[in-house]
Amino acid sequence: MERPELPLQQLHAFVVLAEELHFGHAATRLGIAQPPLSQQIRRLEDKVGYALFRREPGRISLTPAGRELLPAARHALTGLAEGLTAAREAGSGRAGRLRIGFAASLALTVLPGLLRTFRERFPAVDVDVREMTTTPQLAALREGSIDIGLVREPPAHDAELAFETVLTEPFVAVLPSSHPLAAQRKLRVEQLADCPFVLLPRAVGPSLYDRITGLCVAAGFTPRVAQHAVEWQTVCALVETGLGVSLAPESIRRIRLRGVAFRGIEPDTARTRVAVAWRRNDPNPLVQSLLTALLQDPPDGL
């Protein structure tokens, strides 16, 4: 037997009448006249198939059928109210789920302040952060598996994605602490010409790789890459073992390894760019909420 649908307006009238047990008081509370209230209750009883109220001179009371329906009716109305609130929150960009990709080195700079600020402003948003290098982030954005990316050296133009710079920082030389050049406070890039290099693979961040090798070419040499490593933490660990040297964003200094020295380079005008990336015309209001938090009122440290 097919179960009849119960209009929410009738359920609301039923719950109010069950609480008041007085047609006049219930009608006043609902803001309607008493006859329409009686009609709504009759229609609901017709759908249930049994009387919900026992009507006696001067008083009414719930029947067994009414007592059984009351908790379910309250639950349905509460669920609807909660659902409407959740829908409004999600539609306004104050609730829902936001997936953020980030380059590992940005856990040392942009990410902590951004997440702290965003979660303070939008505590109802479920934030899912995923560590990814730049190239996989761009692919994940295009296919829709993440909503926001925090990338280094984004491409100059992309038909599907938009970028906005949130941070620039200089480069530093990464050396074994026992290396002769580590005795200098600053060094020129050309002084690294005879050293083997440890670098990220170009495939995981072509623009950053080209920026680093471009610094070397501008200094008159092509770096001899002895080893590749996907993460900066690993680059620094390999430098510590003496496999080579590297050039890295300044924030990599925060990776504390006893056997690694970080030194400023000259000229110090070269800077690496960190950008937030998102799909152009993304309808997700949470994306705009995060962009507003990041770009209009950035967290401390940016």
Domain boundaries, the chain: 8-91, 96-165+273-296, 169-271
CA distance 160 to 158: 6
89-98: average pLDDT: 66
CA distance 62 to 65: 8
Residue 266: pLDDT band by 50, 70, 90 thresholds?
confident
More confident residue, 223 or 77: 223
- pLDDT tens-digit profile of 184-222? 999 999 999 999 999 999 998 898 999 999 999 999 999
- pLDDT tens-digit profile of 16-33? 988 999 898 989 998 999
Number of C-beta neighbours around residue 222 at 10 A:
10
pLDDT above 70: residue 90: no
Least confident of 79-83, 107-111, 112-116, 279-283: 79-83
pTM of the full structure: 0.64
**Are the folds of 96-165+273-296 and 169-271 the same?**
yes
The rounded mean pLDDT for the chain is 87
Contact between 140 and 132 under an 8 Å Cβ cutoff? The reply is yes
Number of C-beta neighbours around residue 193 at 10 A:
14
The architecture of the domain spanning 169-271 is: 3-Layer(aba) Sandwich (3.40)
pLDDT above 70: residue 254: yes
The pairing of beta strand 59-62 with beta strand 260-266: unpaired
23 burial level (CB within 10 Å; 0-12, 13-18, 19+): middle
CATH, range 96-165+273-296 = 3.40.190.10
Counting Cα atoms < 13 Å in the Cβ hemisphere of 124 gives 14
Residue 4: pLDDT band by 50, 70, 90 thresholds?
very low
Looking at this protein, which amino acid is placed at residue 120? E
Contact between 290 and 148 under an 8 Å Cβ cutoff? The reply is yes
* Per-residue CA distances from 239 to 153, 221, 244 (Å): 23, 20, 5
82-102: average pLDDT: 71
Q: Percentage of residues in the chain with pLDDT exceeding 90?
A: 45
Contact between 191 and 198 under an 8 Å Cβ cutoff? The reply is no
pLDDT above 70: residue 230: yes
More confident residue, 119 or 164: 164
8-91 carries CATH number 1.10.10.10: yes
pLDDT value of position 122:
81
Q: Which helix (H) or strand (E) holds 135?
A: helix 134-143
Contact between 272 and 248 under an 8 Å Cβ cutoff? The reply is no
